[in-house]
Chain A
């Protein structure tokens, strides 16, 4: 089983649609979770952290289920500018420090 697994997509949705991305992780010792956004040929940028209680930032809602080792990202009222690849990232403790493990990403295309 891959450490961080995501549906690669692509998800092609019309403007205004609601779209949900899922992510599962294999290491139960993982401590923190994030969603990053990566535009084509650019570096990843933090979109939001994911908290156990669930958290919302405008049109974006992230949820975490530790028991199922599952993370989700919901985007409401999709905009053209939301088109990007969304990376699920998991922070896991390592020897003396911690490591970030990235999923392959889910590609989203918002269509006019």
Chain B
């Protein structure tokens, strides 16, 4: 199946700093990538849809100025958590879909962010 690589897998940062998470599709072109957040014992919640070459579409309640998304190429999308606070600590997962007839989503390995 298609491979999506996410980096870093975990990060600890100080409150007030910014953290960048990368999501790459390794063997297919992904015009659209998705960013999710998952708190403990909760479901994956879609944060935003990242479209190559255009602005991301954010879900209701997600601050676009806090969670900056850049999708500069067909294989790379980045999520930057700006001025992180402890309440931003969560598991962030990206996914990309292969539009060659497949409907399943391929997920990155996830990034566990801890803000101290």
Interface residues of A (CB under 8 A from B): 4, 8, 32, 34, 41-46, 49, 87, 91, 97, 99-100, 102-105
Contact = CB atoms under 8 A, between A and B. Distances in A.
Contacts of A34: 104
Contacts of A4: 43
Contacts of A102: 43-44
Nearest to B32: A97
Given A32-B103, A34-B104, A44 B44 contact: yes
A45 B107 contact: yes
Contacts of A103: 43
5 contacts: A43-B109, A44-B93, A49-B104, A97-B32, A100-B34
A96 to B, nearest CB: 10
Contacts of B93: 43-44
Contact of A41 (B44, B91, B108): B91
Contacts of A41: 91, 110, 112
Interface size of B as a range = 20 to 34
Interface of B: 1, 6, 32, 34, 41-44, 46, 49, 91, 93, 103-105, 107-110, 112
A41 B41 CA distance: 11
The 4 closest A-B pairs by CB, nearest first: A43-B107, A104-B43, A102-B44, A102-B43
Contacts of B105: 46, 100
A105 B40 CA distance: 11
A9 to B, nearest CB: 11
Contacts of A8: 41
Contacts of A49: 103-104
Nearest to B10: A41
A103 B32 CA distance: 22
